């Protein structure tokens, strides 16, 4: 049904070698600057293109230089004209002219109409919660994205000297035991589930990739003080795949990217406009669209995971205790509107609201006839409730 992958002696050697070296900041931030500075001081021409080199090496007509003007700070084009006299490609007047043109209006109306048709043609219902959402990606595309992410995570882990616990480790065994009990109730027993427990006692986290690869940081295991609490964590992770949350986020990124690049184009006539828009605009879009979507998905995964653990005969009340414990162990917090996750307080409140339904499901569930419930879980919940985050 699923397997536990572990790293052998080769990985241990790699890990040992990696640990013996000092951790450094990302290469792009250090080496680029140093190298540029070295080249700039020794061979400035290497960093400039062929046309400006010729223009700069040619003395400008004397009439173009003002008294006291420092020649080496002044740039000239190929005709010897000071660069500040050269007109920019996009000007405010030019932009206004284009914005007022009937042709532009027609393009905007057509683009908006096309976007609306595209949006409504790709609406679907989340199988468990009954929520309507926009999704353009099929299962295969998401699986491929998950596979790429998986390779990137393993590479990053090796680079940082991380270690995946072996199959026989008691922490891996504990996770596997709970997963084995949950998966038949997920409606995704056919998935090729793989468990990776990362040896990192300081990190209390877990995540799942499309395709069934579940990553658990060992730091979360002491926080989940019972198997039911661990089932709440793992049920939540499995639920992200049941509800296909990654494809929904990838679909949302299409809209936000179009919006961001349109705003960057609109600010093209202001010097650093596009750059500033990219920086601040992407953060604003995260706060406006990305974070609320993420919080909604987290809440939805809490609901689906809670029902799943109840069906698997774990005690759903332990989910409340787990989040209360996480809240008490928390060091710092950011306001919920800035966060991709709901606050623990809101999480607990919602889970308490869903608790009677979960307890009811546990009473009705026959935990031993799992095959009958494998698909029943999805069918029973497809009536669902709408969760508004
Ligand atoms: Zn989550």
| pLDDT, tens only, 238-273 | 999 888 888 888 888 887 888 778 777 777 667 677
**Mean pLDDT of all residues in 166-189:** 92
Beta strands 193-198 and 2-4, pairing class? parallel
The band of 70, judged by pLDDT with boundaries at 50, 70 and 90, is low
> Separation of 158 CA from ligand 1 center, angstroms?
24
Please report the pLDDT score of residue 168 as a whole number: 94
Mean pLDDT of the chain: 74
CA angle 159/170/191 to nearest 5° reads 70
pLDDT higher than threshold 60 for residue 10: no
> Separation of 207 CA from ligand 1 center, angstroms?
7
Please report the pLDDT score of residue 49 as a whole number: 35
How far is residue 266's CA from residue 280's CA, in Å, rounded to a whole number?
Answer: 14
> Separation of 5 CA from ligand 1 center, angstroms?
22
Q: Residue for token digits 């790699």? A: 14
> Separation of 236 CA from ligand 1 center, angstroms?
6
Q: What is the pLDDT of residues 190-204, one digit of tens each?
A: 888 999 999 999 888
Buried b (16+ CB within 10 A) or exposed e, 363-374: eebeeeebeebb
The answer to whether 248 and 124 have CB atoms below 8 angstroms apart is no
> Separation of 105 CA from ligand 1 center, angstroms?
42
How far is residue 164's CA from residue 199's CA, in Å, rounded to a whole number?
Answer: 6
The band of 287, judged by pLDDT with boundaries at 50, 70 and 90, is confident
- The contacts of residue 339 (CB under 8 Å, 6+ apart) are 291, 295
Q: Which helix H or strand E contains 198, and what residues bound it?
A: strand 193-198
- The contacts of residue 95 (CB under 8 Å, 6+ apart) are 266, 268, 269
How far is residue 129's CA from residue 248's CA, in Å, rounded to a whole number?
Answer: 14
- The contacts of residue 322 (CB under 8 Å, 6+ apart) are 223, 224, 225, 229, 232, 233
Q: What is the pLDDT of residues 125-171, one digit of tens each?
A: 776 677 777 777 777 888 888 899 999 999 998 998 889 999 999 99
Q: Which residues pair with 214 in a beta bridge?
A: 195, 208
Please report the pLDDT score of residue 16 as a whole number: 43
Domain boundaries, the chain: 92-121, 124-381
> Separation of 208 CA from ligand 1 center, angstroms?
8
Please report the pLDDT score of residue 181 as a whole number: 92
pLDDT higher than threshold 70 for residue 105: yes
Reduced to 3 states, what is the DSSP secondary structure of residue 201?
coil
Which residue has better confidence, 79 or 215?
215
Q: Residue for token digits 């427990």? A: 197
Please report the pLDDT score of residue 143 as a whole number: 84
The answer to whether 389 and 129 have CB atoms below 8 angstroms apart is no
CA angle 279/331/226 to nearest 5° reads 115
Other Cβ atoms less than 10 A from the Cβ of 108: the count is 11
pLDDT over 70 percentage in the chain: 66
pTM of the predicted model over 0.75: no
Class of residue 96 by CB neighbours under 10 A (exposed 0-12, middle 13-18, buried 19+): exposed
The answer to whether 231 and 312 have CB atoms below 8 angstroms apart is yes
> Separation of 205 CA from ligand 1 center, angstroms?
10
Reduced to 3 states, what is the DSSP secondary structure of residue 372?
helix
pLDDT higher than threshold 60 for residue 73: no
Q: Residue for token digits 């490609």? A: 89
| Nearest alpha-carbon partner for 211 in 305, 296, 304, 141 | 141
**Active-site annotation, residues:** 237
> Separation of 204 CA from ligand 1 center, angstroms?
13
> Separation of 143 CA from ligand 1 center, angstroms?
18
> Separation of 203 CA from ligand 1 center, angstroms?
15
The answer to whether 210 and 300 have CB atoms below 8 angstroms apart is no
How far is residue 68's CA from residue 337's CA, in Å, rounded to a whole number?
Answer: 54
The answer to whether 243 and 300 have CB atoms below 8 angstroms apart is yes
């Amino acid at each position: 049904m699923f397997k536990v992958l572990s790293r052998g002696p080769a990985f241990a050697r790699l890990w040992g070698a990696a640990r013996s070296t000092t951790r450094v900041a990302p290469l792009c931030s250090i080496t680029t600057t140093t190298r540029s500075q070295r080249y700039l001081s020794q061979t400035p021409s290497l960093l400039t293109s062929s046309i400006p080199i010729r223009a700069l090496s040619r003395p400008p007509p004397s009439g173009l230089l003002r008294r006291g003007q420092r020649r080496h700070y002044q740039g000239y084009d190929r005709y010897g004209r000071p660069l500040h006299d050269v007109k920019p490609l996009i000007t405010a007047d030019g932009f206004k002219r284009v914005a007022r043109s009937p042709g532009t209006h027609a393009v905007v109306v057509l683009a908006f109409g096309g976007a609306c048709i595209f949006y409504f043609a790709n609406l679907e219902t989340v199988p468990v919660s009954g929520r309507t959402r926009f999704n353009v990606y099929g299962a295969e595309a998401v699986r491929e994205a998950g596979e790429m992410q998986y390779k990137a995570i393993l590479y990053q882990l090796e680079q940082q000297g991380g270690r995946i616990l072996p199959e026989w480790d008691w922490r891996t065994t504990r996770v596997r035991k709970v997963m084995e009990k949950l998966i038949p109730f997920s409606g995704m027993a056919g998935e090729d589930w793989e468990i990776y427990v990362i040896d990192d006692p300081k990190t209390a986290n877990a995540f799942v990739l499309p395709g069934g690869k579940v990553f658990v940081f060992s730091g979360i295991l002491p926080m989940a003080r019972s198997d039911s609490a661990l089932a709440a964590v793992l049920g939540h992770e499995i639920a992200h795949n049941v509800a296909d949350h990654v494809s929904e986020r990838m679909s949302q990124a299409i809209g936000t990217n179009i919006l961001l690049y349109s705003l960057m184009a609109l600010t093209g006539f202001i010097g650093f406009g596009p750059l500033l828009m990219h920086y601040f605009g992407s953060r604003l879009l995260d706060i406006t669209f990305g974070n609320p979507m993420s919080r909604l998905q987290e809440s939805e995964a809490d609901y689906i995971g809670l029902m799943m653990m109840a069906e698997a005969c774990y005690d759903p009340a332990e989910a409340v205790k787990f989040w209360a414990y996480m809240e008490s162990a928390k060091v710092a917090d950011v306001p919920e509107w800035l966060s991709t996750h709901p606050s623990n307080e809101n999480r607990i409140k919602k889970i308490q609201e869903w608790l009677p339904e979960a307890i009811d499901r546990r009473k009705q569930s026959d935990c031993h006839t799992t095959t009958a419930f494998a698909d029943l879980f999805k069918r029973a919940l497809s009536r669902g409730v709408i969760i508004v985050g």
